[in-house]
Amino acid sequence: MNDIITILYAAIASGTIILYATIGEIITERSGILNLGVEGIMLMGAFFGFYVAYTTESLILAILGAAVIGGLMGLIHAFMTITLQANQVVSGLALTMFGTGASAFFGVSMVGKTLKTSFDVIPIPLLSKIPILGEVLFNHNILVYFAFILPVIIWFIFNRTRWGLALRSSGEEPLSSEIMGIKVIKIRYIATIVGGVFIGISGAYLSVAYSRLWVEGMTAGKGWITIALVIFANWNPLIAYGGAYLFGGLTQLGLNLQKFNIPFPIILLKSIPYVFTLLFLLFISIKGKRSNLPKALGESYFRESRG
Amino acid sequence: MFKIKLEQKERVSKREELIITLSAIGIAFVLSGIFIALNGVNPFVALWKVITSALGSPYGISETLVKAIPLIFTGLSVAIALNSKLWNIGAEGQLFFGATLATAFIIYGPVLPKPLEITVLIILGAIGGALWAAIPALLKIKFKMNEVISTLLLNYVAINIADYFLFGPWKGKDNFPYTPEFPPEARFSRIGFGRVHAGLILALVLVVLLYILIYHTKTGYKMRLTGSSLKAAKYAGINIKKTMFMVFLMSGALAGLAGVSQICGIEYKLHQHISTGYGYTGIIVAWLARTNPFIIVIFAIFLSILLKGADSLQIAMRLPAAVGVVMQALILFAILGSELFKNYNVKLIRGK
């Protein structure tokens, strides 16, 4: 029983990493921009967040720093794909390569360092006392709690505000949106930058709150898993919960196979997240429901083509 | 506020295109220089070091070529897929899987006479790479799964499988994660120029064969048509799924050959660092070369100069090893950004 609580607790804690990034990528993709640079942005956020936390000992500055660096990475992608109309796949790959390289380049000085400050666990009064559920859900740090409400906020913005409508129509029908007076280019810029902000924060959560270490390439493919989970979540922030925590849970379950006396080579456990991600995608492909896929996702938008 | 106005160019001369590409590379070097300067190293000294270490001596040139060999294979691998509008981001994993399969034969199989042994290893490496590429191929064809994500995720798995053997059954005598040294029968011959090995010849032969295949055969025509327009391909009666599957297998096989070439040509054993991201650098090579096999050789050499140079920067100037990755990314960004200027006259105008 205790094992199961531990696993569920870890599922929430590790799912949070992916949840932030998934929300960020959903925002970006909903505007019509495919950002495959998630892995690189996360790494930059993880490095810079850790660096700021280490040097200033301020956690707020660390998260802000990661948000800014994530936003800047988003800006690079926006500039490349929107203004210079570069291929979105290649620009995303370049961004991943850049983030991986630059974080490792500057991160050398942070390897092996430990943080003096950390995000404290804040048990929520009353709720944390609920048996099992309280322990699993309401005994976390502030970033985990914020991740509980973030998808709801984003869902609300998507579906109940003018901004959300403008964002979604930019991703569906950029040309007619422009005619309706929506500034597609501006919206796509904002969405890509804001998406980068949340992806950057996910990196900082990973390095500053979750593992409290900076390790080169520490995201280990989580950025790519995120991109898969966006598809799994059908671009819906609310389903992103399910995707992120379910994924966190299955991964933790896999990593704890030995606890249940299931013989499996320990080294191969590392593959579990990637295999699960492929299975998630397979499941979605077979089910065949991708109703929210933004129609204009990945296509360059030429304003001049209005003629 | 400024606005950018684009006017479609009617025609782009080769000369203009070359100037734009060179300017882009120049910009990438300037940006790299900023990174290097941030680490307290004079960027001009660093640039000079890159050039002299990679091209300044016969030894440097031979080591640069050694790095170009796997890049030709992975560049071809990515390019042949790209030619049919398929993204193979999985060359790194296919490289490792091919190398692992070939190593399995060396460890468990008999030692054959050299020509036979080498032939078997090359075939196994190609099969290994093709098998690993067959997974995303089937996922795409049967289930429409995006191949960018699947090929990338499988890289981690392939490397993990190699790790399983390296830390388990194939562990070296001193408990380090590398296999025992391969017997002489399993090593590619050197061609008499430093450590440059016969893998280069294999790579160049494949360049010619693939050029013929892509541009002068019916199969190549089908592959290109699938890439340029699925509709047209369907209309022409081409079995698109079959073509895609075949392209994926070929792409994987080429990446697998990069793996064999690394273990049998240079390393003489399997270990975790047989590739320093050659599968990913291959994406840049293919993108820059625009899928023409001959041009791939040129860009493979260009990037190998960079990789060799980055190695020297790391050793001589104590710059972090990642400097090479940063420079590659900046070059990719710069070239990618320059495409616009090839097709359009870009004007800044004052707007509201």
pLDDT tens digits, one per residue of A189-239? 999 999 999 999 999 999 999 999 999 999 999 999 999 999 989 999 999
Return the pLDDT at A139: 87
Local confidence band at A303 (pLDDT 50, 70, 90 cut-offs): low
How close, in Å, is residue A270 to chain B by CA atoms? 7
Tell me the residue type at A202: S
Retrieve residue A63's tokens: 């998260």
Retrieve residue B65's tokens: 């070529």
Distance, in Å, from the CA atom of B292 to the CA atom of B78, rounded to the nearest integer, reads 11
**Burial of A224 per CB tally in 10 Å (0-12, 13-18, 19+):** buried
Distance, in Å, from the CA atom of B272 to the CA atom of B257, rounded to the nearest integer, reads 17
How close, in Å, is residue A306 to chain B by CA atoms? 12
Listing DSSP states for chain A in one string gives -HHHHHHHHHHHHHHHHHHHHHHHHHHHHHTT---TTHHHHHHHHHHHHHHHHHHH--HHHHHHHHHHHHHHHHHHHHIIIIIS---HHHHHHHHHHHHHHHHHHHHGGGTT---S--PPP-PPTTGGGSTTHHHHHSSS-HHHHHHHHHHHHHHHHHHHSHHHHHHHHHHH-HHHHHHTT--HHHHHHHHHHHHHHHHHHHHHIIIIIIS----TTTTTTHHHHHHHHHHHTTT-HHHHHHHHHHHHHHHHHHHTGGGGT----GGGGGGHHHHHHHHHHHHHHHHT--TT--TTTT----GGGG-
Local confidence band at A307 (pLDDT 50, 70, 90 cut-offs): very low
Distance, in Å, from the CA atom of A257 to the CA atom of A263, rounded to the nearest integer, reads 8
pLDDT tens for residues A80-100? Answer: 999 998 999 999 999 999 999
pTM of the model: 0.92
Average pLDDT score over residue span A231-252:
91
Sign for the pseudo-dihedral over CA of B165, B168, B173, B177: positive
Task: Name the segment(s) of chain B with CATH classification 1.10.3470.
Answer: 59-317
Contact A248, A10 (CB under 8 A): yes
Chain B interface disruption, residue of A90, A109, A185, A231, most B CBs within 10 A = A90
How close, in Å, is residue A85 to chain B by CA atoms? 7
How close, in Å, is residue A287 to chain B by CA atoms? 10
Grouping H, G, I as helix, E, B as strand and the rest as coil, residue B6 is strand
Tell me what percent of the residues of chain B surpass a pLDDT of 90. Answer: 72
Return the pLDDT at A158: 94
Q: Which residues pair with B196 in a beta bridge?
A: B193
User: What is the count of residue pairs from A and B with beta carbons less than 8 Å apart?
Assistant: 130
The radius of gyration computed from the CA coordinates of chain A, to the nearest angstrom, equals: 19
Query: For residue B34, which residues of chain A lie inside 8 Å, CB to CB?
Result: none
> In chain B, which ranges are E strands?
2-8, 190-193, 196-197, 344-350
∠ CA A267-A269-A270, nearest 5°, is 80
Q: Closest chain A residue to B287 measured between Cα atoms? A: A90
From A221, A268, A304, residue closest to B164, measured CB to CB: A268
Local confidence band at B2 (pLDDT 50, 70, 90 cut-offs): low
How close, in Å, is residue B114 to chain A by CA atoms? 34
Which positions 312-331 of B are in contact with A (Cβ < 8 Å)? 319-330
Q: How far is CA A62 from CA A52, A74, B22, B69, B236, in A?
A: 5, 18, 39, 43, 58
From A80, A100, A277, residue closest to B153, measured CB to CB: A277
Give Cα A6 to chain centroid, integer Å: 23
Query: For residue A101, which residues of chain B lie inside 8 Å, CB to CB?
Result: 322-329
Q: Which residues pair with B344 in a beta bridge?
A: B8
Cβ neighbours around A9 below 10 Å, total: 16
Local confidence band at A305 (pLDDT 50, 70, 90 cut-offs): very low
How close, in Å, is residue B113 to chain A by CA atoms? 35
Return the pLDDT at B352: 47
∠ CA B22-B28-B33, nearest 5°, is 125
Return the pLDDT at A256: 80
Return the pLDDT at B172: 79
Give Cα A195 to chain centroid, integer Å: 8
Distance, in Å, from the CA atom of B226 to the CA atom of B238, rounded to the nearest integer, reads 8
CATH fit for domain B59-317, picks 1.20.1550, 1.10.8, 1.10.3470, 2.40.50: 1.10.3470
Return the pLDDT at B17: 83
pLDDT tens for residues A41-83? Answer: 999 999 999 999 999 999 999 999 999 999 999 999 999 999 9
Is A101's CB within 8 Å of B156's CB?
no
Return the pLDDT at A267: 86
The complex's ipTM works out to 0.90
Distance, in Å, from the CA atom of B205 to the CA atom of B192, rounded to the nearest integer, reads 18
Which positions 163-192 of B are in contact with A (Cβ < 8 Å)? 163-164, 167-168
Which positions 205-264 of B are in contact with A (Cβ < 8 Å)? none
Distance, in Å, from the CA atom of B50 to the CA atom of B52, rounded to the nearest integer, reads 6
Distance, in Å, from the CA atom of B291 to the CA atom of B277, rounded to the nearest integer, reads 20
Query: For residue A36, which residues of chain B lie inside 8 Å, CB to CB?
Result: 148
Among A144-153, A249-258, A293-302, name the most confident range.
A144-153
Q: Closest chain A residue to B320 measured between Cα atoms? A: A105
Distance, in Å, from the CA atom of B275 to the CA atom of B262, rounded to the nearest integer, reads 8
Is B336's CB within 8 Å of A85's CB?
no
pLDDT tens for residues A122-162? Answer: 888 888 888 888 888 888 889 999 999 999 999 999 999 99
Is B87's CB within 8 Å of A89's CB?
yes
- Residue A304 near chain B (CB below 8 Å): yes
- Region A2-111+127-302: CATH code: 1.10.3470
State the DSSP code for B181.
P
Asked if pLDDT for residue B131 goes beyond 50, the answer is yes
Return the pLDDT at A162: 93
Query: For residue B339, which residues of chain A lie inside 8 Å, CB to CB?
Result: 84-86
State the DSSP code for B267.
I
- Residue A279 near chain B (CB below 8 Å): no
How close, in Å, is residue B136 to chain A by CA atoms? 10
Chain B interface disruption, residue of A18, A76, A93, A282, most B CBs within 10 A = A93
Cβ neighbours around B176 below 10 Å, total: 11
Distance, in Å, from the CA atom of A110 to the CA atom of A133, rounded to the nearest integer, reads 37
Residues across chain A: 307
Helix boundaries (H) for B109-171: 114-143, 147-167
